[in-house]
Chains A and B, each alone.
Chain A
Amino acid sequence: MPLIRLLIWVYAIAPPVAGLMGMMFFDQHIGPIVKLAAWFGWDIRVGLDYFDTAFAMIVVSVWKQIPYNFIFFLSGLQGIPTSVREAAALDCRSGLRRFWTVVLPLLAPTAFFLLIINVTYALFDTFGVIDVMVKDKAANNPITLVYKVYMDGFRGNDLGGSSAQSVILMIIVLVLTIFQFRFIERRVHYN
Chain B
Amino acid sequence: MQRTKVLDHIILLIGVFIMVAPVVVAFTTSTHEAADIHSNGLSLTWGGHFAETYETVLTRQGGFTGKVTGFNMMMNSMILGLGFAAGKIVLSMLAAYAIVYFRFPLATAAFWIIFTTLLLPLEVRILPSYEVMNTLKLTNTYPGLIVPLLASATGTFYFRQFFKSVPDELLEAARIDGAGPFKFFIDVLVPLSRTMMAAIFIIMFVYGWNQYLWPTLMTTDEGFFTLVRGIKQILLVWVGSNIPDYNEAFALAILAMLPPVMIVVVFQRWFIKGLTESDK
Contacts and interface: CB of A to CB of B under 8 A. Distances in A.
In the complex, A touching B, CB below 8 Å? yes
Interface of A: 3, 5-17, 20-21, 23-25, 27, 29-32, 35, 63, 66-68, 71-72, 75, 113, 117, 123-124, 127-128, 131-132, 135-136, 146, 149-150, 153-154, 159, 162-163, 166, 169-170, 173-174, 177, 184
Given A6-B16, A14-B228, A16-B228, A24 B268 contact: no
Nearest to A136: B236
Contacts of A15: 210, 212
A11 to B, nearest CB: 6
A177 B119 contact: yes
B276 A117 contact: no
Interface string B192-225: 0000000000000010011011001100000000
Nearest to B275: A71
A71 B250 CA distance: 27
Contacts of B110: none
Nearest to A128: B212
A8 B264 contact: yes
B249 interface: yes
B232 A132 contact: yes
B261 A12 contact: yes
B167 interface: no
B250 A24 contact: yes
20 contacts: A7-B19, A9-B19, A12-B210, A12-B260, A17-B210, A17-B231, A17-B256, A24-B246, A29-B38, A72-B275, A113-B279, A117-B280, A127-B213, A135-B236, A146-B123, A150-B126, A163-B127, A166-B125, A173-B121, A177-B119
A177 B217 CA distance: 26
Given A66-B19, A173-B121, A16 B261 contact: no
Given A14-B256, A127-B212, A75 B276 contact: yes
Interface residues of B, number: 58
Contacts of A184: 279
6 A-B pairs with least C-beta separation: A14-B210, A12-B260, A128-B212, A30-B41, A12-B264, A12-B261
A63 B26 contact: no
A94 to B, nearest CB: 13
Contacts of B210: 12-15, 17, 128
Nearest to A153: B127
B37 interface: yes
A117 B279 CA distance: 9
Given A16-B231, A75-B276, A3 B16 contact: yes
Given A132-B231, A135-B235, A9 B261 contact: yes
Contact of A131 (B20, B232, B253): B232
A146 B42 CA distance: 33
Nearest to B12: A3
Contact of B118 (A5, A131, A162, A177): A177
